[in-house]
Structure 1
Amino acid sequence: MKLGYHIGYWSSGPPAGALDAIRTAEELGFDSVWTAEGYGSDALTPLAWWGAATSRVTLGTNIVQMSARTPTATAMAALTLDHLSGGRFVLGLGASGPQVVEGWYGQPYPKPLARTREYVDIIRKVVARDAPVTHDGAFYQLPVQGGTGLGKPLKPTVHPLRRHIPIYLAAEGPKNVALSAEICDGWLPLFFSPKSDGFYRAALEEGFARRSGRPAEFEVAASVRVIVHDDVEQAADLIRPSLALYIGGMGAKNMNFHHDVFARMGYADVADKVQDLYLAGRKDEATAAIPTQLVEDTSLIGPPEKIRDELAAWEETVVTTLLVRGDAATLRKVADALS
């Protein structure tokens, strides 16, 4: 199983020591480095800036939010970064959720799967550069309808370094996971658990069946918290606040995809309680309501021997890469514990 380093998106500013951590990840033999965006920092600029200090690792976005850019703008960025990195770029995409899509980007959220299908199709056409790009879809039209009538189909001026840039899709629900297997080169799961492997494996197989079988290369790069610590409870305490935020506060009461992941995992009552407490402003109580077992189901925490023992279960799943976080010192501990 490969290791990747996930920088994530920024909080109030750039993460301290990010460049040192990226260089350390490459030095340790990590396979990839990933950036993200929410509604603050973007994913593409840090990847280009910090990625320039690397020479081997794959550089990926986890994720670029589709509503933030038109498909052709995203394709232009992919073409550009693929050239600058010497063919090391992977485009990770995601639909995000309605609060961000409609509240921040001012775009409609309904029918995200159909929108994703069109988005990916247009990017593929741009990168392949076989012909001037046209698209007549429900969400995107190239040239646009109802304009001046002067729009014309265009090809990118830049010739692609690779005519097929890998596209991974961030997905949590079964239909979206199946879509990643059908039209993309990889899946980016969040809050994956080995106990849910059968559920996700079935969703992926459904998508592969729609494309006449699994492709020769399909990556599953899962974001997994790894905390090397002698005390399991203290390690879990470092993760609980983030889980409380995602389960309780990321999304609305009636539409929170992260909450649904844990409900499917068998923690429906816990997820409901955490959400109720979090939305009521009782964040500390929401955090305390997360059991250690839930943390352990989706993370690797504790002494190195415990982590190595539990890694065996992950190696039996569909996951091909573990994406870990932390500073340079943390990455060294993680690499040692997982070796």
Structure 2
Amino acid sequence: MKLGRLGVWYSTDKLNGAQLADLIRTVETCGYSAFWYPEARGYESMSLASYLLSKSERLMVGSSIANIYARDAFTAQRAMVSMNSLYGGRFMLGLGVSHIPMVEGLRGHRYDKPVATMRAYLDGIHKDLPADTEAPVLVAALGPKMLALSAEKSMGAVPYNVTPKHTAEAAKILGPNKVLAVEQKVTVETDPARARELGRKELARYLVLPNYRNNWLRLGFTEQDLADGGSDRFIDAMVLWGDADAVRKGLRAHFEAGATHVCLQPVHADGDFAARDRILEALADT
């Protein structure tokens, strides 16, 4: 399984079937190597992956992430094997422990210790897997312990809401021959006020989640940076903006820090899919 340099990350719950198919065609036509999607309150992860794969010819499709509390490890393993058998080895199983509100509040499960729980789940994924069967599993890892587990038990990591500083630290922990697929929000917008307005709207739902806040504090942001929708310094780090050349420079910083793959998340006004597609077209040659 060969993952190319650039991919696209997009929140799929906001799209219906026809809109999803249109997006997949755009991503594939632009030449991106992979499409990544989350699992939150809308589409179920494995059925969505099958639909996305059916609408593409060459595109790799990866869950980023499938919630490990949504299905047991055997079911996730069988889904991974089934889709790669049916769709020519184009599915990547990105796994994550999600967040307490999504696990306890929404699903009614108990949110256990993240690293130990993920370790047990990865063991279950690999249990009784035939020796000649590839296991393209990646882990949503932010902290050093989860990154070390990713290196030990999976193909690599899919960090989200991170900076090149985190990418450099993750690359050191993962070591060589591992996938480091980093998500980065982008908008081709040269007006600082407008770009930051879009960024604050996009980041609002993440600023209340402890997993992300703790990681941002580890990276050197302060509580003041995370207050009141985020400081300009914080927003500018999390959402690359400017003309296409300025955004490309920011994306290259991840590669220089050790990323093997960067997935762009286009940030745009709600429903402005034309703007989304313009962003993807402008940055496809990064």
Q: TM-score, normalised by structure 2?
A: 0.87
For residues 266-307 of structure 1, give each alpha carbon's deviation from its aligned partner in whole angstroms, at most 9, with x where no partner exists. 2222256x2xxxxxxxxxxx32xx222212222321112322
Q: Which residue of 1 aligns with 2:9?
A: 6
Which whole-Å CA distance do the structure 1 matches of 2:17 and 2:259 have between them?
A: 27
How many angstroms does 1:96 deviate by?
Answer: 0.9
Matched, 1:43 2:45: yes
Q: Which residue of 1 aligns with 2:270?
A: none
| Contact 2:52-2:61 at 8 Å conserved across structures | no
| Contact 2:8-2:27 at 8 Å conserved across structures | yes
AA at the equivalent of 1:174: P
How many angstroms does 1:102 deviate by?
Answer: 2.2
Distance 1:260 1:82, change over 3 A: same
User: What SS is found at the alignment partner of 2:257?
Assistant: coil
Q: Return the match for 2:174 from 204, 219, 227.
A: 204
For residues 194-243 of structure 1, give each alpha carbon's deviation from its aligned partner in whole angstroms, at most 9, with x where no partner exists. 133443334334xxxxxxxx3x3x21111111100121331121111232
Spell out structure 1 runs of 4+ moving beyond 6 A.
none
Which whole-Å CA distance do the structure 1 matches of 2:220 and 2:170 have between them?
A: 15
| Contact 1:173-1:257 at 8 Å conserved across structures | no
Q: Which residue of 2 aligns with 1:330?
A: 276
User: What SS is found at the alignment partner of 1:191?
Assistant: coil
Matches within 5 A, 1:46-125: 46-125=48-127
How many angstroms does 1:113 deviate by?
Answer: 1.3
| Contact 1:71-1:120 at 8 Å conserved across structures | yes
Q: Return the match for 2:143 from 138, 159, 173.
A: 173
Which whole-Å CA distance do the structure 2 matches of 1:202 and 1:294 have between them?
A: 24
| Contact 1:7-1:18 at 8 Å conserved across structures | no
Q: TM-score, normalised by structure 1?
A: 0.74
Which whole-Å CA distance do the structure 2 matches of 1:127 and 1:26 have between them?
A: 31
Which whole-Å CA distance do the structure 1 matches of 2:277 and 2:148 have between them?
A: 32
Q: Which residue of 1 aligns with 2:233?
A: 293
For residues 226-268 of structure 1, give each alpha carbon's deviation from its aligned partner in whole angstroms, at most 9, with x where no partner exists. 1001213311211112323211x23xxxxx0111122122222
| Contact 1:311-1:338 at 8 Å conserved across structures | no
Matches within 5 A, 1:129-148: none
Matched, 1:265 2:224: no
How many angstroms does 1:60 deviate by?
Answer: 1.0
| Contact 1:181-1:204 at 8 Å conserved across structures | yes
Which whole-Å CA distance do the structure 2 matches of 1:221 and 1:79 have between them?
A: 21
AA at the equivalent of 2:215: V
Q: Which residue of 2 aligns with 1:238?
A: 198
| Contact 1:6-1:34 at 8 Å conserved across structures | yes
Matches within 5 A, 1:215-254: 216=177, 218-247=178-207, 249-250=208-209
User: What SS is found at the alignment partner of 1:68?
Assistant: coil
How many angstroms does 1:32 deviate by?
Answer: 0.4
User: What SS is found at the alignment partner of 1:324?
Assistant: strand
How many angstroms does 1:26 deviate by?
Answer: 0.7
Which whole-Å CA distance do the structure 1 matches of 2:99 and 2:35 have between them?
A: 24
| Contact 1:171-1:180 at 8 Å conserved across structures | yes
Distance 1:201 1:2, change over 3 A: closer
User: What SS is found at the alignment partner of 2:50?
Assistant: helix
| Contact 2:9-2:36 at 8 Å conserved across structures | yes
Which whole-Å CA distance do the structure 1 matches of 2:223 and 2:118 have between them?
A: 32
| Contact 1:35-1:44 at 8 Å conserved across structures | no
How many residue pairs match? The answer is 276
| Contact 1:9-1:43 at 8 Å conserved across structures | no
User: What SS is found at the alignment partner of 1:322?
Assistant: strand
| Contact 2:38-2:65 at 8 Å conserved across structures | yes
Q: Looking at CA atoms only, which structure, 1 or 2, has the larger radius of gyration?
A: 1
Q: Any gaps of 5 or more consecutive residues in structure 2?
A: 267-272
Superposition CA RMSD, Å: 2.3
Which whole-Å CA distance do the structure 1 matches of 2:193 and 2:260 have between them?
A: 28
How many angstroms does 1:109 deviate by?
Answer: 1.9
